Amino acid sequence: MTELQYDYGMRKFTVIFAMILAACSGKPGPKDVVFNFIEAVMVSDSLGVVNNLDVDAYLKSRMTEMSPEDSAKALAENREKTIQSLLGEGPIRLRWMDQQIVVNESIQTDSTAEVEVSFIDRTTRHQLYTKMQLRKVPDASWKIVYFR
């Protein structure tokens, strides 16, 4: 075996080994997190919602620029409102219950991902196409940071 063949073989082994490790990491990928989040909203599972949504990052993405003090106050006031809007009789949950939700492609970089999601009104057939944005958190799991 020549040195070139050995080097190629080692690179091939390294790539395959890295793919196996990634597949065995046990952490759900971005698309799985979106499915889990939608399921949690549909069954009004507060733990599932909180486990899949970075509420603070979501709120920050929807806030206008403000002072750090105002920002902290707004976060504190809106955390519970946001979670409640996704549970029980919350307006987001009720709207989602009336729609067909289709999860499409996932585009992933190192620490961010976008998952295409279509919300189709069952009555009017009006479709809202959007992308849920996710960020990898320190434990290597994914959290939704923006949805519409």
> Which sequence spans correspond to the domains of the chain?
28-146
Global pTM reads: 0.76
Q: What is the pLDDT of residues 62-97, one digit of tens each?
A: 776 666 676 777 788 889 999 999 999 999 999 999
Cβ–Cβ < 8 Å for 133, 114: yes
> 28-146, what's its fold?
Nuclear Transport Factor 2; Chain: A, (3.10.450)
Q: What is the pLDDT of residues 10-53, one digit of tens each?
A: 455 444 544 444 445 579 999 999 999 999 999 999 999 999 99
- Residue 109 phi/psi, 5-degree rounding, is -115, -165
How many residues make up the chain in this entry?
148
